[in-house]
Structure 1
Amino acid sequence: MHAERRPDTRPLIDEAAVRAVDRALAALRRGEVIAIETADGTVGAAVSVESVPLDAVERLKALTGGVPTLAVTRRRAIVLGLAADTDDTAPGVVALGCAGGLSADQAHALADPEHRPDNATLPHGLTAAVMPVDTREAAAVDLARLARLLPAAITAQVVPEDDGAALDAAAWAAEHDLLLVRARDVADYRVHVVRTLRRVADARVPLSGAENTRIYAFRPADGGPEHLAIVIGDPDPEQPVLARLHSECFTGDLLGSLRCDCGDQLRGAIAEIARQGSGVLLYLAQEGRGIGLVNKLRAYRIQDQGFDTVDANEILGFEADERVYLPAAEMLRQLGFSAVRLMTNNPEKLRQLTRCGIAVVERVAHIFPANGHNEGYLRTKAERSGHMF
């Protein structure tokens, strides 16, 4: 199959906003302080907890004149006993603080999944406040998550030297040699980046058992990792295509890890598509259910202490599943497909792909036996994530 290039009628993207967020991600990974401007005109500074230098808190105080607080996900706050765990708990961000601000060591202890402080060891006078989505705290945590770091950041609001005077965010950031990003651009980043996906290469790649295969690479404008479409045979775009959405798994796909069933699912999907004659496997750059390889290894360490995969992700501060399926829908559209027969056991994939505008006309079961090491993993997927086995 050779997908025809069609005129690009998608809305224009604010490329400057995408670049600003991308640069902020790189800065956070280097342990640098960044500036964040919110919709109400306030300006703050933030640094990732994972890569924070020991002097970063004092630097934030000196830079901003404000009191540093620790921003964590609501999931992490629940683990710490600082937010209510209710059935309707939605993703969110909680700001933790105390008089005079938290120290770098205290921030590390509150965010570190290997260190789970109890009431007796929490900082004295610690307060917790749920933050709206358009705040610097929410933006800072989202940036850390996007950078595949622990989802936690130390932030402080800039206090203007002239009380009550408006602050020029760009001028302040430039004066202090900081990268500036707007909170609303961070909130919109995932959707904007998906809209920039472009097919950048394709080639015939004969596979064992599926020799008539072509791989298409899609790259986002932020320079992030490519997503791949593995097209087997010559599927008819006018008919629902047999499809599999597969999130990359370095340990399972490449190394043959027995902790999960990912390798079996990948190879089994290719074999089944070839058996049926044609179809597409979308290989999505969303390692560890969207938390990244490093955080997946951290989750494994927590699982080895007796927690299941859902608990481990939440102890880290993530949702049980951080994946998004907009890239998959966009890739299917660019390849000319609007309807699928989806190979999955995950009902969330059915719902999300439908919400993204792709018709799911049939669910095709995709089940493989346990191997002696992943029984608990498979049981958790069924009991806590609703997978249909």
Structure 2
Amino acid sequence: MNLGPDINETLARARADLRIGVPVVLVSAQGAALVLAAETADSARLAGLKQAGLAPVLAITARRAETLKARSYDGDVARIVLPEEADLRWVLSVAEPKDDLANPMKGPLQSAREGGAQLHRLALALCKAARLLPAALVADLACDAAGAEAFAAAERLTVVDADAARAAMDASVVLQDIVAARVPIEVAENTRLHVFRPEDGSEEHYAVEIGRPDRALPVLTRLHSACFTGDLIGSLKCDCGPQLRGALAQMGAEGQGILLYLNQEGRGIGLANKMRAYSLQDQGFDTVEANHRLGFEDDERDFRVGSAILKELGFAAIRLMTNNPAKIAMMEKTGVKVVERVPLVVGGNAHNHGYLKVKAAKSGHLL
């Protein structure tokens, strides 16, 4: 009998641990490392690393490193060497860009060159998946897998097999249609809401099914990423709320459609990081520049989730309501045929004029 967690369940534990400030242990054939998310680290644990004779480096993305004028010898990752006197405040000043303009001289920062960055790269991926800043304290445990697991057992820490983790994170998205029920809405009383749960323990996603679309025909579809600020409280900084309501209205007028409501807030970086990006925009950076200063790419969403839901619902071809060519490309790549792009240009106002210009100029949106 095996009652222990599989790799997806272990990753879910690891994300939860990092979110509350508990370290995790990563193990691979190349070595083992202790990982602590920079955002949730505390002074006691940082001091504990040093007292244990461990010498952590601060792993950040190449995007963040570029902002700090630090070298990324490992391509997409930079391993910043902690000065001897570095404390938690120093770590956070490197990880978090909110005070970059007020304190521009953070360096010079020294980047490690020797050794591999496989575990550091995974550490950053876990921080992103946990919706934390992509920055992690990573300490080489200088022992084999058995030694690392013994250390983790003594400290009651989660152990993650790095190779299995990477394979699981790169694998096809698997979701279950947990439940569906009738939910009459303003634009269409004949509406059902489906709740989908990913097997990796991440956020649930929803499908709003208007009418009874024929599974053999292309269905009018919208992939809508959750936007608390735009959808719920009517923010004027984006066009998300008007797009959500406009898509539902058009589906209601046609009598059928599928709106996928994907919990990938802030282009996949989470609400807290989106608010950090908004704060940086108040300092004069555009939406793409703000994401880069935080250490993220322009868009961190995984549109495979939308494809998986459509397939689970029985659709192979869609009429996609979007201004974003990347969504079309991802649907086609993952086996969902897009027979028509249906424009959805709504929601422009004086507050988001610059934001929409950047979406068109830097992200290729067809506005």
What is the TM-score with the length of structure 1 in the denominator? Answer: 0.87
User: Which of residues 191, 194, 211 is equivalent to 2:173?
Assistant: 194
- Following superposition, the deviation at residue 178 of structure 1 comes to 1.5
- Following superposition, the deviation at residue 154 of structure 1 comes to 0.4
Q: Does 1:30 align with 2:30?
A: no
Count of aligned pairs: 363
- Following superposition, the deviation at residue 108 of structure 1 comes to 1.2
- Following superposition, the deviation at residue 83 of structure 1 comes to 4.1
Cα separation, partners in 2 of 1:366 and 1:117, compared to 1, 3 Å: closer
Equivalent in the alignment of 1:126: 110
Supply the AA of the counterpart residue of 1:17: I
Equivalent in the alignment of 1:3: none
Map 1:159-170 to 2 at 5 A: 159-160=142-143, 167-170=146-149
Q: Does 1:69 align with 2:53?
A: no
Equivalent in the alignment of 1:110: 94
Q: In the TM superposition, what whole-angstrom CA distance separates every residue of 1:156-211 from its partner, at most 9, and x where no partner exists?
A: 10124xxxx7743322211222111122243234445822x101110111111211
Cα separation, partners in 2 of 1:367 and 1:255, compared to 1, 3 Å: same
SS in 2 for 1:215: strand
SS in 1 for 2:43: coil
Q: In the TM superposition, what whole-angstrom CA distance separates every residue of 1:272-302 from its partner, at most 9, and x where no partner exists?
A: 1122221101000101110001111111111
SS in 2 for 1:194: coil
SS in 1 for 2:310: helix
Equivalent in the alignment of 1:46: 35
- Following superposition, the deviation at residue 362 of structure 1 comes to 1.2
Q: Does 1:342 align with 2:320?
A: yes
Q: In the TM superposition, what whole-angstrom CA distance separates every residue of 1:42-101 from its partner, at most 9, and x where no partner exists?
A: 1110101101111333322344x43210001111011111247xxxxx982211115658
- Following superposition, the deviation at residue 27 of structure 1 comes to 0.8
- Following superposition, the deviation at residue 16 of structure 1 comes to 0.7
User: Which of residues 229, 236, 239 is equivalent to 1:258?
Assistant: 236
- Following superposition, the deviation at residue 336 of structure 1 comes to 0.4
Supply the AA of the counterpart residue of 2:124: V
- Following superposition, the deviation at residue 326 of structure 1 comes to 1.2
Structure 2: 5+ residue stretches without partners: none
Q: In the TM superposition, what whole-angstrom CA distance separates every residue of 1:302-359 from its partner, at most 9, and x where no partner exists?
A: 1111111111111111111100111111110110001111110001101111111111
Write the distance in 2 (CA, Å) between the matches of 1:274 and 1:212: 9
User: Which of residues 218, 222, 245 is equivalent to 1:267?
Assistant: 245
Write the distance in 2 (CA, Å) between the matches of 1:248 and 1:166: 40
Supply the AA of the counterpart residue of 2:90: Q
Equivalent in the alignment of 2:276: 298
User: Which of residues 11, 14, 24 is equivalent to 1:21?
Assistant: 11
Supply the AA of the counterpart residue of 1:176: E
Supply the AA of the counterpart residue of 1:314: H
SS in 1 for 2:245: helix
Equivalent in the alignment of 1:352: 330
Q: In the TM superposition, what whole-angstrom CA distance separates every residue of 1:230-271 from its partner, at most 9, and x where no partner exists?
A: 111111111111111000001111111111100000000001
Supply the AA of the counterpart residue of 2:39: E
Contact 2:9 2:201 survives alignment (8 Å): no
Contact 2:39 2:133 survives alignment (8 Å): yes
Write the distance in 2 (CA, Å) between the matches of 1:213 and 1:192: 32
Contact 1:30 1:51 survives alignment (8 Å): yes
CA RMSD of aligned residues (A): 2.4
Cα separation, partners in 2 of 1:128 and 1:118, compared to 1, 3 Å: farther
What is the TM-score with the length of structure 2 in the denominator? Answer: 0.92
Contact 2:321 2:344 survives alignment (8 Å): yes
Equivalent in the alignment of 1:172: 151
Q: Does 1:137 align with 2:120?
A: yes
Structure 1: 5+ residue stretches without partners: 1-13, 85-89
Equivalent in the alignment of 1:81: 69
Write the distance in 1 (CA, Å) between the matches of 2:185 and 2:98: 42
Cα separation, partners in 2 of 1:279 and 1:120, compared to 1, 3 Å: closer
Contact 1:28 1:144 survives alignment (8 Å): yes
* 279-288 or 124-133: bigger deviation: 124-133
Supply the AA of the counterpart residue of 2:32: V
User: Which of residues 239, 246, 249 is equivalent to 2:224?
Assistant: 246
SS in 2 for 1:114: helix
